Structure 1
Amino acid sequence: MLLNKKLLIFLVFLLIPNFGNANTDFIGVIGAAVGEITNQNNEKLSNGSKIFFGDTVVSNNNSNAQILFLDQTILTLGEDTELTIDEFIYDPNSHEGSFVSNVKSGTVKFITGQISKKNPENLEVKFPSGTLGARGTEFVVLAENKNESTVVLLGPGPENSLGMIPGNLILSDGISSVNITNPGFEATIKN
């Protein structure tokens, strides 16, 4: 019985560092911060601040920020914006992973990275009135209030000269969905 207790104590101490490491790996950094940018603990974020899984980033009045993620996704937050990273899993060798973010309020511009390029269905953006999936593109989400959100596809389009994959957004309000493929087009989802 004493051996079992010693083994249990040894295993607990062996596993504790792994739990700590699971939450200390950063997934991105603040590439630019103007004004007051904070996280869910009301800690000030500035250029170079690390972003972790589960973080909420808040840009206050007259403030904006740009977040650079490990898969090369870039998010730009406008003023009065709240964004939470619900999931970020990324393998830099295979470019496999998944990315789920939640725009709770405000405006966020997305430039998709390797996760969306490899598997477009593995990028999901939640907002108060719906969700969207994106395929290798650039778009803006404006979460105006809990009942209405607007999404604009910025590009690239099918006739781009850079050889890029044409952008594609699939928006859903939980009942129906719409596909946006033309740059400059937008959709508004109301509850």
Structure 2
Amino acid sequence: MRCLFALSLIFGLSAAAQASDTAPIGIVKEVIGTATIEQGDRKITPQVGADIFLNDDVSTGADGGIGISLNDSTTLSLGENSRLRIDRFVYEPQANKLGFGMEVMQGTLSYLSGKIGAIAPEQVSVATPSMTIGIRGTKFLLKVKPVQ
């Protein structure tokens, strides 16, 4: 009986740790036209209110656009034929743990900084196929041409 309890405790703690690792980092606020979110092997058509998770690939088609609000109030707006991945998002201000990083593979992106950028701007970075930049401002527009 003790062994069964110990096993269930171990599996329960493991599941709780896994759930915290997969907590949403934001939500979809707006969808126009064609947009897709790839979550691992799963591909979904986002709806307003859909969760965004770390390492999701967010893309839009020729008629598409998507608006995302992250848990620190950062807002991202992707234009047509765009693709990005948020590969770092840490928002634990009480523990002084902050960080945000994304890769924009192609297209247009409008970025409005949230609390991470306001509190720790040196912890915000954006990568493209040709460069990585540190963000010190609160708002920018980025256009990335597809790699040929």
TM-score (structure 2 length as normaliser): 0.86
Given the superposition, is the C-alpha separation of residues 127 and 84 from structure 1 closer, same or farther in structure 2, using an over 3 Å criterion? same
Aligned to 1:171: none
Structure 2 unpaired stretches of 5+: none
From 5, 11, 35, the equivalent of 1:37 is 35
Q: Secondary structure at the match of 2:116?
A: helix
Aligned to 2:88: 87
Aligned to 1:9: 7
Supply the AA of the counterpart residue of 2:108: T
* Bigger relative contact order, structure 1 or 2 (CA pairs below 8 A, ≥6 apart): 2
State the Cα deviation string for residues 80-100 of structure 1 (Å, max 9, x = none): 111101011102557751011
> Which runs of 4 or more aligned residues in structure 1 lie more than 3 Å from their structure 2 counterparts after TM superposition?
5-8, 92-96
Q: How many residues align?
A: 145
Structure 1 unpaired stretches of 5+: 148-191
Post-superposition offset of 1:60: 1.0
Q: How does 1:156-175 map to 2 (within 5 A)?
A: none
Post-superposition offset of 1:20: 3.1
State the Cα deviation string for residues 18-73 of structure 1 (Å, max 9, x = none): 23312341111111100111111321002111101111111111110111111111
Supply the AA of the counterpart residue of 2:77: T
Structure with a larger share of its residues in strand? 1
Matched, 1:20 2:18: yes
TM-score (structure 1 length as normaliser): 0.68
Cα RMSD for the two superposed structures: 2.2
In 2, Cα distance between equivalents of 1:30 and 1:55: 12
